[in-house]
Amino acid sequence: MSLNRRRRCWPVLIPLGLLLAWVLLALIPHLSGGAATGDRVTSEVLIQAEELKHWLDHRDPRLRLIDFRHKAKYYLGHIPGAIQLWRPETEDRAQSVPGLPAPARQMEHLLGGLGVGSQDTVVIYSDQGDHTRLWWILAYYGFPLRQMRLLDGGFEAWKAKGYPTQLTAPRYSTATFHFPASAKRNFLLANMAEVKKAQGSPDKVLLDVRDLRLYLGEVSREGAARPGHIPGAVGIFWQENRVAAGPHKGHWKRAGELRELYAAKGILPDKDIYIYGHTSLGASFTLVSLYLAGYPLEKLHVYGGGWSEWSRSPEKAETGPGR
């Protein structure tokens, strides 16, 4: 081909090359196995079973794996090297409202006693959605987000790969654990007064993450004084953030799917979102899900008291579809 003919082709080839690159970039998230692993925030929050296996095989002394399940489940089998921790140990028992985070000093003493140091990278897993509660508490007290990962798909994802489990607990020396000074993310925990102030505000939205029957007031749970939901709250069950069936059942949905789910109900990234469940368990899972979808963390607030506290108060409640 002559030099002149090659020059005439360049204006055509360059746009075609750019178009091909754009198409490939657009396809990458859809070609990934689970959640939107091409999204930056996803890779910062989640870890896949294959990657965790690689980390464990390299025996990183700064890695601590936390099994956030009941002790009975832990001793029936857990990921090798995992230490056990369960919800009651992370709750503030001095409060009348269940589910609020334990004080910072209590958490520091607890984690240090388990052999977790301030500089360690922590990988948390469970078999339901409980592990997000520990992530939320650590984030609230200012633990660096880059030092935390959640196992996508939980313990079931590990077992599905045929990876080994063990029955005995590891032994780690006591470590020094302190949350960073002046790093507390106070915005991650909201109280009733803040939720009341958010009601009716155009730049704020209340999000109820309980089962639809609980939201509608058709049934009630132990610990709630009455059925229903907070007036004006949007209802999206926290389980809707997970893949429901197939080889990736239990994994987080892709970021784009999560954004569509919430945008359809008016839950947009420019609004302050006050998230509540019965207490804080499902709410913490939804908080992580919104963060994975690209919502700014500082816009996400878990109402720690949840419906358990609101239902006992003189504040109004709604039943039926709501929003």
User: Which domains, and CATH codes, for the chain?
Assistant: 40-160 (3.40.250.10), 186-310 (3.40.250.10)
Confidence of residue 323 (pLDDT cuts 50, 70, 90): low
Cβ-count burial 28-56 (b if 16+ within 10 Å, e if not)? ebeebebbbbbbebbeebbbbbebbbeeb
Q: Give burial (CB, 10 Å; 0-12/13-18/19+) of 61.
A: exposed
**What is the DSSP pairing of strand 234-235 with strand 204-208?**
parallel
**What distance in Å separates the CA atoms of residue 56 and residue 303, rounded to the nearest whole number?**
36
**What distance in Å separates the CA atoms of residue 205 and residue 225, rounded to the nearest whole number?**
24
Nearest to 140 by CA among 185, 104, 101: 185
Which amino acid, residue 165? T
Q: CB count, 10 Å around CB of 316?
A: 11
Mind listing the pLDDT tens digit for each residue in 190-217?
A: 999 999 999 999 999 999 999 999 999 9
Mind listing the pLDDT tens digit for each residue in 239-271?
A: 999 999 999 999 999 999 999 999 999 999 999
Q: What single DSSP character describes residue 125?
A: E
Question: What is the pLDDT at residue 43?
Answer: 75
CB 294 within 8 A of CB 39: yes
